[in-house]
């Protein structure tokens, strides 16, 4: 694969000599062969010259669900990875949101093999417990050796604190990463949206912020006692940010993420009873949104995620109470982040997180493997169903005005362009 990117503006704050400079970038046999003000294309080279072309290192998403195996009608691995490539992501962490769940060595091997020829690299999570039932630890060490980058019973809280303690202690032997979803199920009860003015007005059962924060407090105490590495995915409240900031000051080895939709939307969106906005954790208040954005900027929150969750029409177009939780997110991530934070900060945030999973951080330098995303940060667009690459169409961003489009990605010796 020989490609020449013409007149591309480089976004890379780690390289002051190239950041915001317009350069030609020659990619030969999957590597960056040359970066210069002007490069003449060889006859065998594909030239990419696009309006307001920008380039950065490839983006990373730590929470993506597809459907295969078990829910291929939602999304296959092949089309899911193609969607990720078209959305600017060259590496993703795959949630164990399938059936059967990946709780053994062979399950992880299957996921790795099913994705090996794609431009976007897939790093699977195994479940923390057998069948994700919360009773007995799964084959954590074997799954780690097979390529699992962490252990997570998807969106299921670890009710048994002793089991979390044992998992944190056991995984220290091989530097495993243990997830704990932040929700106390007994406090959450039958709630389905944020508990507050909007839920009261609409007559919907609420999930109080307390449900998230109590679980985080418990988990942090267990982490302090047991040691190990703990990741708390998709926090959603202002107090959660404070709790994790305090834990980091104490030196605890904890990381956390936030879903992009919890930065962009609040629970006021629920007034139409549109199940596209039913997500877990739920959309919270403007106060929470502001605290989450501040936590991202000061480093308390380690990275953002699309929390991409494809669901078919039968799972979403039902009464709000009965609808499944989740929204598409990959294809709108850049447009939202660019609108919220501006291009330079958006790219920085969309590129963060790899080090938590032990992955190498790509470099936009001569001689390095080409792991790149190309985009136009100024062009506005409005997502519509017919423009989605995902098999499922359950996007809460439909009809919303966003800023910035992705042209595609270059990775693993392949170029995927929209």
Catalytic residue numbers? Answer: 307
Rounded to whole angstroms, how far apart are CA atoms 73 and 212?
Answer: 32
- Name the percent of the chain in helix, strand, coil, to the closest 5: 35, 20, 45
CA distances from 135 to 164, 262, 332, 379 (A): 11, 31, 37, 50
Contact 5, 27 (CB under 8 A): yes
Which residues have a Cβ under 8 Å from the Cβ of 10 and sit 6 or more positions away? 18, 19, 20, 21, 22, 23, 25, 35, 54, 55, 56, 364
Residue linked to tokens 């990117």: 5
Half-sphere exposure of 368 (CA within 13 A, CB side): 16
Partners of residue 10 on adjacent β-strands: 55
Residue linked to tokens 């709790």: 243
Rounded to whole angstroms, how far apart are CA atoms 143 and 141?
Answer: 5
**Residue 39 CB neighbour total at 10 angstroms:** 18
């Amino acid at each position: 694969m020989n490609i020449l990117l013409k007149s591309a503006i480089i976004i890379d704050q780690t390289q002051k000599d190239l950041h915001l400079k317009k350069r030609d970038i020659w990619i030969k046999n999957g590597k960056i062969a040359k970066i210069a003000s002007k490069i003449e294309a060889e006859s065998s080279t594909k030239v990419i010259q696009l309006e307001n072309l920008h380039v950065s290192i490839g983006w990373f998403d730590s929470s993506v669900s597809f459907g295969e195996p078990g829910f291929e009608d939602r999304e296959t691995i092949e089309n899911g990875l193609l969607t990720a490539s078209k959305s600017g992501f060259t590496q993703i962490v795959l949630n164990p949101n399938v059936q059967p769940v990946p709780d053994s060595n062979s399950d992880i091997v299957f996921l790795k093999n099913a994705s090996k020829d794609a431009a976007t690299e897939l790093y699977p999570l195994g479940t923390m417990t057998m069948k994700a039932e919360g009773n007995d630890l799964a084959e954590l060490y074997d799954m780690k050796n097979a390529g699992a980058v962490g252990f997570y019973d998807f969106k299921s809280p670890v009710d048994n604190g002793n089991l979390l303690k044992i998992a944190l202690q056991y995984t220290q032997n091989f530097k495993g990463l243990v997830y704990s979803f932040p929700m106390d199920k007994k406090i959450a009860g039958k709630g389905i949206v944020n508990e507050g003015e909007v839920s009261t007005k609409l007559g919907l059962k609420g999930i109080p912020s307390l449900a998230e924060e109590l679980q985080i407090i418990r988990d942090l105490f267990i982490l302090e006692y047991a040691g190990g590495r703990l990741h708390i995915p998709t926090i959603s409240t202002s107090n959660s940010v404070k709790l994790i900031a305090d834990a980091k000051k104490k030196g605890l080895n904890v990381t956390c993420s936030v879903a992009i939709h919890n930065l962009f939307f609040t629970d006021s969106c629920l007034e139409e009873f549109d199940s596209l906005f039913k997500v877990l954790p739920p959309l919270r208040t403007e106060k929470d949104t502001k605290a989450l954005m501040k936590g991202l900027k000061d480093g308390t929150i380690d990275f953002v995620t699309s929390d991409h969750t494809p669901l078919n029409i039968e799972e979403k177009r039902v009464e709000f109470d009965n609808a499944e939780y989740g929204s598409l997110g990959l294809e709108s991530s850049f447009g939202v982040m660019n609108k919220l934070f501006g291009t330079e900060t958006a790219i920085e945030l969309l590129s963060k997180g790899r080090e938590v999973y032990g992955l190498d951080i790509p470099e936009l330098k001569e001689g390095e493997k080409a792991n790149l995303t190309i985009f136009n940060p100024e062009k506005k667009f409005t997502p519509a169903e017919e423009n989605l690459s995902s098999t499922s169409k359950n996007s809460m961003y439909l009809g919303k005005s966003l800023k910035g489009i992705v042209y595609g990605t270059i990775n693993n010796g392949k170029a995927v362009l929209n």
